[in-house]
Chains A and B, each alone.
Chain A
Amino acid sequence: AQSVTQPDIHITVSEGASLELRCNYSYGATPYLFWYVQSPGQGLQLLLKYFSGDTLVQGIKGFEAEFKRSQSSFNLRKPSVHWSDAAEYFCAVGAGTASKLTFGTGTRLQVTL
């Protein structure tokens, strides 16, 4: 069975600083990988996804993520964080079917002004 580990429960960055959120997955074959964001009181929204091809994927809101098979990682990055990026971020993996996802435990991002 697949699994996802997000080692950072909570991260604080200053507005304008760069951001990297870590995600490690476990799955025997090539996984489908996703990052979702949840703003306070809201459902989740898809930021980006990787199915195959270019290992650097671009998403919405200026986010990108890089799939590294050798490290079983799919880290999320943003070069310059905005205060509105404060939210909880979830990494997810899909196997077999893209839809039945296994989510990580989430990383809560706090942005200081």
Chain B
Amino acid sequence: DVKVTQSSRYLVKRTGEKVFLECVQDMDHENMFWYRQDPGLGLRLIYFSYDVKMKEKGDIPEGYSVSREKKERFSLILESASTNQTSMYLCASDTNTGELFFGEGSRLTVL
């Protein structure tokens, strides 16, 4: 069974903290994505990566960075968390088919 695993389901952080969200896929997919999900706004693409060490900005990259040192792992980094980054973060992967495989999400609360 294909699997995308997000390391933390729930996180609570304080304003200004550095936050790492980790995502691992076991399907050897080239593409990996980070989305943010907010009520009434749907899913918005933060960053995506087509290959190791390659990344491209999505629609809302401000305040975020990413790292992909290995094919199976894609990390989302909030350098200095702010309250407006309280959200659900979804990681996904695919092989250019459009069939994204999603993790269960990481719900981040920034106080």
Chain A residues within 8 Å of B, Cβ to Cβ: 6, 9, 32, 34, 36, 41-46, 49, 51, 90, 94, 97-106
Contacts and interface: CB of A to CB of B under 8 A. Distances in A.
Contact of B100 (A42, A44, A97, A106): A44
B42 A103 contact: yes
A36 B97 CA distance: 14
A101 B45 CA distance: 8
Interface string B45-57: 1001000000000
Interface string B30-71: 010101000011111100100000000011000000000000
A90 B98 contact: no
Contacts of A46: 99-100
A85 B44 CA distance: 24
Interface residues of B, number: 25
Contacts of B104: 41-43
21 contacts: A6-B42, A9-B40, A34-B98, A36-B100, A41-B104, A43-B90, A43-B104, A44-B43, A44-B92, A44-B100, A45-B102, A49-B98, A49-B99, A51-B98, A99-B33, A99-B94, A99-B100, A102-B45, A103-B44, A104-B42, A105-B42
Nearest to A100: B48
B61 to A, nearest CB: 13
A41 to B, nearest CB: 7
A108 B97 CA distance: 26
B84 interface: no
